[in-house]
Amino acid sequence: MDKLSINSEIGKLKKILLHRPGFELDRITPDDLKEVLFDDIPWMSRMRKEHDGFAKVLKETGTEVLYVTDCLLEVINNNAEAKKELVELALEEVQYDSITINGLREFLLSLDNKELIRCIIAGLSESEVKSSRVTLSDYMQDKYPYYFKPIPNLYFMRDVGVVIKNGVALSRMKTPIRRRESLIVRLIYKYHPDFSGVPVYFDNKQEKMSLEGGDVLILSKECVLIGFSERTSLEGIDKLASNLLNSNSGVKKVLAVKIPHERAFMHLDTVFTMVDCDKFVIFPNILNDIEVITITSGGKSSLRYEAEENLKTALAKALNLPSVKLIKSGGSSSVISAREQWNDSTNTLAISPGVVITYNRNEISNEILDRNGIKVLSIEGSELVRGRGGPRCMSMPLVREDIDF
């Protein structure tokens, strides 16, 4: 059996990778909000309770839940080289002289492994380093409170990597504040026994163009959809498409979907997700702005492009179906649609065909899903949503049962 197996967005979910919000979020201040991409400071005890509720629903429906910190601890407990790599990826961000960096390296390597992971994720402040100042820059350089900063977006696991078939695309994040997240996940895929050795269809350490997992949807065994969004570049789409189409991945077609480049629509999955074999939920206010291009292999590592009439017909053709249904979140009201999309009404996580997890606050959109034959398992998310993401954003599915369209 493959270590990873994702051949659709909707096959019964068997295994998933999450990150429980930790101390890194306790360090957000009002001055940090814009840089860390949050809209407000979350109430942390409530946020963790909400995330635990999300994990509970997953477990109750038969999904094995893995956590990033547990996987990372297993890796560095068993591999000294991996521990050194973890330290170095954090030190790459330190803007000090070599003497200071060497001192920080010595400090980090001396930490207990659990404490080291906490530092790598939550950032390292000057007050936490129990050493004297040894260089002029320690005294006189204008400094942020941290040698390297917290990474509070890590709980959005979909963004930093996406499993495609039996391999993975490791995201190259658009914003610098998030790049450590994807490098941590890369380390897990490199060394953890549950993931090591799998095909890598996009490597964030090698590529410089942006590609984020929230823009990648696996429609079927033969078709992947990639959004051209605020966070994913055309070059990134071309690179992943080429790697998939010109390999033995089994992918024969990639749909590139252009959406408006706005903060509210940072990724494709903030406006569009798959909920059943022939049903999708979509934010209707963007329908007139969507463009779709089908990409296929042109031979000898080249690509062939074909413009599609619209999203609906492109989806039906890609899935070999007579038609598909686009369910409009928020219904006929553009005001309700906009309000609920802001709170991730379209960011659903399918746990089996026609069964999805959503935030309970999006009452109208959830009712519409129900009326269209979709079973909704709703969770609390009033604090989780402050980071601008829903159940799909918070999850990295690893294994799903195959389904035939």
Q: Would residue 393 show up in a list of annotated catalytic residues for this protein?
A: yes
Burial 272-306 (b: 16+ CB within 10 A, else e): bbbbbbbbbbbbbbbeeebebbbbebeeeeeeeee
| Residue 165 backbone zone (phi > 0: left; psi -120 to 50: alpha; other: beta) | left
Cβ within 8 Å of residue 252, ≥6 positions away: 222, 223, 245, 296, 297
Which residue is it, tokens 């890598």?
200
Cβ within 8 Å of residue 4, ≥6 positions away: 163, 165, 166, 167, 168, 195, 198, 398, 399
Instruction: Give the Cα separation of 9 and 402 in Å (integer).
Output: 10
66, 15 contact by CB (below 8 A): yes
357, 275 contact by CB (below 8 A): no
Instruction: Give the Cα separation of 101 and 104 in Å (integer).
Output: 5
Selecting among 71, 119, 223, 393, the annotated active-site residue is 393
Supply the Cα-derived Rg of the chain in whole angstroms.
Answer: 21
375, 367 contact by CB (below 8 A): no
Instruction: Give the Cα separation of 356 and 344 in Å (integer).
Output: 13
| Residue 363 backbone zone (phi > 0: left; psi -120 to 50: alpha; other: beta) | alpha
What one-character-per-residue DSSP string does 232-268 give? S-HHHHHHHHHHHHTTTS---EEEEEE----GGGSSG
Q: What CA–CA distances, in Å, run from 260 to 129, 263, 287, 289?
A: 44, 9, 10, 7
Residue type, 48: R
Instruction: Give the Cα separation of 369 and 279 in Å (integer).
Output: 10
Q: Which of 388, 397, 392 is nearest to 266 (CA)?
A: 388
Annotated catalytic residues are 393
